[in-house]
Amino acid sequence: MKLVVGLGNPGLEYDRTRHNVGFEVVDRLARRTVDASRSIARSRFSGSVLETDVATDSGSEKVMYLKPLMYMNRSGQSVAEALRFYKLVPAKDLFVVVDDIALPCGTIRIRPDGSSGGHNGLADIEEKLGTSAYARCRIGIDAPGQVPQKDYVLGKFRPDQQTLVESALELAVQACSTWMSSGVEAAMNRFNVRSSPRESSPLKASERRLPDAPGP
């Protein structure tokens, strides 16, 4: 089994916000790959889950899509519960989709492992799993500029960002599909293209990290 996790915050007030692009990718992926007879999400592992079977290079494999229904900085509990239950190995069975203010809208980055980069959701997953060795897809949402970071990531995309992020969401869906069928190296080779001229300067981890609990 493979586990695809989209990070976000639960609740209608966070729907379609910058911090919830991970939820959006998992929702789109599920709509395209889950049979109608299995399309009702279940509540498991402190989250919302759907299961399906996907074609792979070696045949087929069961996949679970998971949206943790705890706030972002507690996402690790949900992910750890699912991995333990199915005895999955993070390095080969886990793929996490998350927003990144250090990347411009319209771009995505696939990595097989790495640091949290100051992202509270990834930091909590790393803490709960005891490892950062798991694949992740970062979706650029632009740097906040003069807007307070928490307000920015919990806000909705500006009209000038909407077309760009729509493209990135579609790329992320395709990247997830490639990872499921062919692995992280194939996904990296296909989707890690050069950045657009809009790419922001890299931010220090201290500049990217959102406030800890309570809140997103």
Cα–Cα distance measured from residue 129 to residue 168, given in angstroms and rounded to the nearest whole number: 28
Residue 5 pLDDT > 50, yes or no? yes
Query: Cα angle at 154 between 153 and 156, to 5 degrees?
Result: 90
pLDDT value of residue 205: 39
pLDDT over 70 percentage in the chain: 88
Is 19 annotated as catalytic? yes
Predicted pLDDT at 37: 65
Mean pLDDT of 33-57: 89
Q: Say which DSSP state 167 is in.
A: H
What 75-78 contacts at long range (C-beta under 8 Å, 24+ apart), as own/partner pairs, is 75/5, 75/7, 75/121, 75/124, 75/125, 76/121, 76/124, 76/125, 76/126, 76/127, 76/128, 76/129, 77/46, 77/124, 77/128, 78/5, 78/45, 78/46, 78/47
Backbone angles phi, psi at 110, to 5 degrees: -105, 135
pLDDT at 74 over 50: yes
Percent helix / strand / coil, the chain, rounded to 5: 45, 20, 35
Lowest-confidence segment of 14-18, 183-187, 189-193, 210-214 by average pLDDT:
210-214
pLDDT of residue 201: 40
**Phi-psi domain of 87 (left: phi exceeds 0; alpha: psi -120 through 50; beta: other):** left
- 167-196 mean pLDDT: 91
Domain boundaries along the sequence of the chain: 2-208
Task: Return the minimum-mean-pLDDT range out of 3-12, 56-65, 97-106, 127-136.
Answer: 56-65
Instruction: Say if residues 73 and 199 touch (Cβ distance below 8 Å).
Output: no
Of the candidates 9, 10, 14, 19, the residue annotated as catalytic is 19
- Report whether CATH 3.40.50.2000 matches the domain 2-208: no
| pLDDT score of 206 more than 60 | no
d(CA 208, CA 120): 9
> Quick one: which of 140, 3, 132, 138 has its CA closest to 67?
3
